[in-house]
Amino acid sequence: MLAALAAVFAWIAVAAPQSAATAAQVVSKVVDFTLFIGAPLAAGTVLLIRRLKAATRGRLGAERLLGLATAGLPPARQEWGTAMRAELLSIDDPSARRAFARSAAFAALRIGHARPLAIAGTTGLLAAAGTLAVSRLLLAVDKPIGIGIYTMFAPVLLLFAAALLGAATRRSFRSGLEAGVVALFVALVGVFAVMAVEAVTWAEHYGVYVFDGDRPSTGHLGPGGAVGDALSPFFIGLHLVLWVPWPVLGAALGAAVRHRHPADGAAARQGSSRS
Amino acid sequence: MRHPRRLSPQTVAVLLALADQASRWSHGYDLCRRLGLKAGTVYPILMRLAERGHLETSWEQPDVVRGRPARHLYRLSLDGAKLAKELQRTDRGRAAFLARAVV
């Protein structure tokens, strides 16, 4: 998969007019792509597909839906996931099974999200605050080189950390993924909101784009053009591609911590009784 | 005992339905059918009641003949039974309404 992605990018690099340059430049681009986009994307995709396959293996329809919704619940909730899945199998009427699965899946998706959401919100706000700080710092030191390098790569670390923390504290891949994915969306909104506002400041002070510090070919950059550039679908898509793998990777690493405490998972799986 | 008056009508209905069963165990789906509530309503209530110590849970034996896994069972704990009694005593009208609704 990674090789296929690298091949596609190599083809794009060779086909692009500006890169009709040297072979060394093409190789450098392919290496950059592989390190920063291809490898994380491939690893994240493989991890996610393996988890989804494990959650739905041998199940059909309603069972698959509930299996997915209850997959990777934190240890304290696993017993309830098992209970709902077992109850589903006891229902013979197909329409009642579907109704039960839909409703129970909704319940499973709602339970116990307070901590992951708190982690996600904090992470997203940190990414946005960092964007503002970097922008203001560069303006303060009179270096309008653009904040794209920060927005593309620094939030990656935050998203990875949020997912890792979410997964490790609850010993659950799913909790980590939820924290990471919500953090990604909060960060995306926060970072681009800050970029849009800062784009106007950069345009007014230096007449350059906030993302890369380039000047427009026309020489003049108005507020509308500056904001439009900052919020262009290309930049948003670029950030998404760079950021998306890291919540998955962080969640996988955080969930691996569970293996250090096998007793917790085993206790939850056994299904304790208070009686 | 935790503020019985702050319990939702659905939670009260679950408590009363379980109280009606006395010490007998109930299944989650049977509770849903009996109360006319969806699984997405009943299971979170069961989780909360169990976490608060109002509910005892257990696992029945798997149905080997039909190839079905063990189902989860629920009944009121002593605390839960006290809470149900308190509800009936302090809020008799509401409890009676709900009791009628769940039969």
pLDDT tens digits for A63-94?
A: 888 888 887 777 778 888 899 999 998 888 88
Residue A13: its pLDDT value, please? 56
Whether residue B64 lies within 8 A of chain A, CB to CB, comes out as: no
Residue A273's pLDDT is what? 38
Q: Give the pLDDT score at A275.
A: 33
- Candidates A88, A91, A100, A110, partner chain B, best to mutate (most B CBs within 10 A): A100
Q: Which residues of A touch B39 (CB under 8 A)?
A: 84, 87, 100, 103-104, 107
Contacts of A271 in chain B (CB under 8 A): 57, 59, 70, 72
Q: Which two tokens stand for residue A38?
A: 């291809």
Flag whether residue A77 sits within 8 Å of chain B, measured between CB atoms: yes
Q: What is the pLDDT of residue A113?
A: 62
A104 contacts on B by Cβ (under 8 Å): 39-40, 43
Mean pLDDT over A39-60 rounds to: 79
Tell whether A107 is within 8 A of chain B (Cβ): yes
Beta-bridged to residue B73, according to DSSP, are: B27, B58
Contacts of A106 in chain B (CB under 8 A): 40
CA distance to partner chain A, nearest, from residue B11 (Å): 15
Rounded average pLDDT over A109-128? 79
Q: Flag if A275 and B56 touch (Cβ within 8 Å).
A: yes
| DSSP states along chain A | -HHHHHHHHHHHHHHSGGG-S-HHHHHHHHHHHIIIIIHHHHHHHHHHHHHHHHHHTT--HHHHHHHHHHTT--HHHHHHHHHHHHHHHT---HHHHHHHHHHHHHHHHHTT-HHHHHHHHHHHHHHHHHHHHHHHHHHHTT----SHHHHHHHHHHHHHHHHHHHHHHHT-HHHHHHHHHHHHHHHHHHHHHHHHHHHHHHHHHHSS-TTT-PPPTTS---HHHHHHHHT-HHHHHHHHHHHTHHHHHHHHHHHHGGGG-HHHHHHHHH-----
B100 and A CB contact within 8 Å? no
Q: Nearest residue on chain B to A112, judged by CA atoms? A: B44
Q: CA-CA distances (angstroms) from residue A242 to A1, A25, A89, A138, A152?
A: 17, 21, 41, 23, 7
Note whether A208 and A226 are within 8 A (CB): no
The shortest C-alpha distance from B41 to chain A (Å) reads 7
B53 has a chain A CB within 8 A of its CB? yes
Show residues of chain A in contact with B57, CB under 8 Å: 79, 271-275
Return the higher-pLDDT residue of B22 and B78: B78
Whether the per-residue pLDDT at A42 is higher than 90: the answer is: no
Q: Which of the residue ranges A180-189, A213-222, A256-265 would you say has the lowest mean pLDDT? A: A256-265
Cβ–Cβ of A273/B29 closer than 8 Å? no
Phi, psi of A183 (to 5 degrees): -60, -40
Question: How far is the C-alpha of B33 from the C-alpha of A100, rounded, in Å?
Answer: 10
Closest residue of B to A98, CA-based? B39
pLDDT for the residue B103: 42
**Confidence band of A263 (pLDDT split at 50, 70, 90):** very low
- The per-residue pLDDT for A264 is 46
Establish if B78 touches chain A: CB-CB under 8 angstroms: no
Q: How confident is the model at residue B41 (pLDDT cuts 50, 70, 90)?
A: very high
Is 70 exceeded by the pLDDT of residue B85? yes
> Is the pLDDT assigned to residue A267 strictly greater than 50?
no
Q: What is the mean pLDDT of residues A120-145?
A: 91
* Residue A14 predicted with pLDDT over 60: no
Over residues A159-182, mean pLDDT: 86
Nearest in space to A111 (alpha carbons), one of A178, A162, A51:
A178
| Range A178-190 average pLDDT | 91
| Percent of residues, chain A, with pLDDT higher than 70 | 82
pLDDT above 70: percentage of residues in chain B: 82
The two three-digit tokens of residue B60, written as one number: 């029945």
Whether the Cβ atoms of residue A272 and residue B58 lie closer than 8 Å to each other: no
ipTM over the 0.90 cut-off = no
The alpha carbon torsion through A135, A150, A250, A73 (nearest 10 deg) reads 40
Instruction: Give pLDDT, residue B7.
Output: 86
Residue A39: closest CA among A9, A19, A14:
A9
Q: Which of B38, B36, B57 is nearest to B48 (CA)?
A: B57
Interface touch B27/A80, C-beta < 8 Å: no
A238 has a chain B CB within 8 A of its CB: no
Terminal CA-to-CA distance of chain B, rounded, Å? 26
Q: Chain A: give the shortest CA distance to residue B62, in Å.
A: 10
CB within 8 Å: A79 and B55: no
Average pLDDT along chain A: 82
Q: Please report which confidence band the pLDDT of residue A7 belongs to, taking 50, 70 and 90 as the band edges.
A: low
